[in-house]
Amino acid sequence: MTTTSPKITARNVSVYYGDKRAIDDVSIDVTQDEVVAFIGPSGCGKSTFLRTLNRMNDTVASARVEGRIELDGEDIYAPDMDVVQLRARVGMVFQKPNPFPKSIYENVAYGPRIHGLTQSKTELDAIVEGSLRRAGLWDEVKDRLTDSGTALSGGQQQRLCIARAIAVEPEVILMDEPCSALDPIATAKIEELIHELKGRYAIVIVTHNMQQAARVSQRTAFFHLGHLVEFGATSDIFTNPRAERTKDYITGRYG
Amino acid sequence: MSRSLVPEVPTGTAAPIAHRPTDWTTQASRRRTRRRYAAERRFRLTGLAAVWLSVGFLAFLLVSMMWQGLSGFTETRITLPITLNLDITPERVAGRGGNLALAGAGLEGAVDAAASQAYGAGGADLLSDGAWLRVRDAVKADPDLIHRRFTIDVPAAADIDVAAKGEGTPAAEAQVARLTAAKALSRGINRGFLAQADSTDSTQVGIWGALKGSLLTMAVTLLLAFPIGVFAALYLEEYAPRNRWTDLIEVSINNLAAVPSIIFGLLGLAVFLGTFHMPRSAPIVGGLTLALMTMPVIVIAGRNAIKGVPPSIRDAALAIGASPVQVVFHHVLPLALPGILTGTIIGMARALGETAPLLMIGMRAFIAAPPGGVSDPATVLPVQIFLWSDEVNRGFVEKTSTAIIVLLVFLLAMNGLAIYLRNRFETRW
């Protein structure tokens, strides 16, 4: 495993919505075996930046991205980059659990199916079971795979969404405040899950919960008003922030 | 870390405002409560009254239609003793061209003669013009009847039929009384009504021609308007860029949905008949015209249904690498389908009841045979009702109501099917 060369390299990235600049000149590296947390007050652009990493901003007509973002050294905004493949390689989990209104099995099987990753039903069954096991959901749902994914509890739905994302074997998983709609117990389970997934996938997580950032990440980036204020080892950011603004934020002066 | 990092919340230094609990027992307060209850009650009663009033109107409509129209499914029959003695062999009757042979051998005259013999001079006028056809069918079923005396129930003439059902002229009433005394009158199901097409004689009319015309026209309308409407809605919602052109298209579609239907009829007349020289009075032209009218309704309903699909579902599908087309066909369309179907039901129900545009393209012609296909001359149910309601003959009053019952049953069946489909596709969240 190459740990030295970064998985994702973002250089001088700026994002505009129309004339409004939402992200200003951000450069970040994410390596293969770490969890990177993005923190910052609401509206600071951390989610916007996250969504540039798998080009989900393409769906917003007015959004425009400048700068260079590479996945394994490949420019993901190059004209010949296939967005569909990119999104299969860079999975995403959203703030609000959003399982498809289909069965639990279908939710997980959908990705492998549309990408033609399996040749047979047995293979697909194995992928579904493996993904649900890795998402820590298998024991809870193995007897009701045909039930609707929307019938699960909020925490289970979010783990189903994670299972759905890892079913296509992505290289990176982006998580956009995955626990903000969950209760503390469900949150703890997701955090545990992030620990287990670490190393296998590069993980970038946006969170409003600073304890969560401290618990799950190795490195933390603090965003404020579209700027990357500070990016460094999580332990440093939370105990010995260099920038005044970072310190003010993590001590709750604003946010 | 024992002390919380969260700093203390600063509070004002002004003295707290003295708290005085509200007195809910004063006269004014009680009056307010009473008034609130009264307003609540009034509102509920008004709503209830509105519901009952509309239910009452609907019941009145249905009951009066049933009252006047149900008897249209039956016919009055006169028992006729008859000896044919035609110059024809049973083999000719049973063979090919039997109908023509019987007509050539003077069957109609023989039936009239039998009526005069049984019920005096003018007895033939008691029978429907189609009475001899009933005798013909009986003879064809059993050719031996040609040389044998037999008794058969044949349909009565329109004025006798009306009188027997209770609304005839004095002269006809007298005839009915005479026939009843002779035990010659009976009632039976009018099988021809659901099998035949229009006629000038109210005892011989049938609704099947118009019903089939409506079915064919609706099929053409649905086949055109549904796919075109759904694809237009999908494109406008999912792909079209938001700019002045799409705004213009949206406004045009909304306006199109509000255009009076007669204008669509004129358009159909000018374009389909005038420019393309398509057949007049044909279901294909009617269907095309009604499709133009129905499509905007489906587009509008479809766009609303597609808008109602949560964006989170699109995000979810996109984020695991579904292409835009896969997002639309695997997720958006299935979730929007119930709403699209509801819009389609509304549009199709409106098209089914539409008369004006079809008058313009010639579907008001007198068509005595059910259409064989979409390019044959045909009429549709509402136009047939319009035509019959215009007839002078009293027999058509009842037939008009009967046709209305058939139209309503068709409408209910169509809506029932659509509601069933909608419920099947509905996704529970």
Query: What's the Cα-to-Cα distance from A139 to each of A135, A170, B297, B388, rounded to whole Å?
Result: 10, 23, 48, 70
CATH code: domain B208-425 is: 1.10.3720.10
A1, part of any domain? no
Q: Quote the CA–CA distance of B271 and B410 in Å, as a whole number.
A: 30
Contact A40/A224 with Cβ under 8 angstroms?
Answer: yes
Contact B330 A150 (CB under 8 A): no
Which of B323, B320, B120, B170 minimizes the C-alpha distance to B239? B323
A255, part of any domain? no
Please tell me the total count of domains within chain A: 1
Among chain B residues, CA nearest to A58: B318
User: Residue A92 phi/psi, 5° resolution?
Assistant: -145, 140
Contact B316 A161 (CB under 8 A): yes
A45, part of any domain? yes
Q: Is A223 left (phi over 0), alpha (psi -120 to 50) or beta?
A: beta
pLDDT for the residue numbered A2 = 45
Q: A13: buried, middle or exposed (CB in 10 Å: 19+, 13-18, 0-12)?
A: buried
Residue B68 scores a pLDDT above 80 = yes
> Averaged over B247-276, what is the pLDDT?
92
A205, part of any domain? yes
Residues 6+ apart with CB under 8 A from B163: B169, B172, B173, B175, B176
Contact A165/A102 with Cβ under 8 angstroms?
Answer: no
- How many angstroms separate the CA of residue B17 from the nearest CA in chain A? 29
Contact A116/A148 with Cβ under 8 angstroms?
Answer: no
pTM above 0.80, yes or no: yes
Total length of chain B: 429
- How many angstroms separate the CA of residue A226 from the nearest CA in chain B? 23
Sequence spans of domains, chain B? 71-189, 208-425
Domain assignment of residue A107, given as a range: 8-250
Residue pLDDT tens, chain A, 255 long: 445 678 999 999 999 998 899 999 999 999 998 999 999 988 888 999 999 999 998 888 788 999 999 999 999 999 999 999 999 999 999 999 999 999 999 999 999 999 998 889 999 999 999 999 989 899 999 999 999 999 999 999 999 999 999 999 999 999 999 998 888 888 998 999 999 999 899 999 999 888 899 999 999 999 999 999 999 999 999 888 899 899 888 887 765
A3, part of any domain? no
Contact B429 A150 (CB under 8 A): yes
Residue B10 is classified by DSSP as P
Interface of B with A (CB under 8 A): 5-7, 241-242, 310, 312-323, 326, 330-331, 335, 427-429
A175, part of any domain? yes
CATH number of residue A202's parent domain:
3.40.50.300
Give the sign of the dihedral formed by CA B235, CA B236, CA B238, CA B243.
Answer: positive
Q: Which long-range contacts (CB under 8 A, 24 or more apart) does B159-167 make?
A: B159/B394, B159/B395, B160/B76, B160/B78, B160/B126, B161/B75, B161/B76, B161/B128, B161/B202, B161/B203, B161/B395, B162/B394, B162/B395, B162/B398, B164/B76, B165/B71, B165/B76, B165/B398, B167/B394
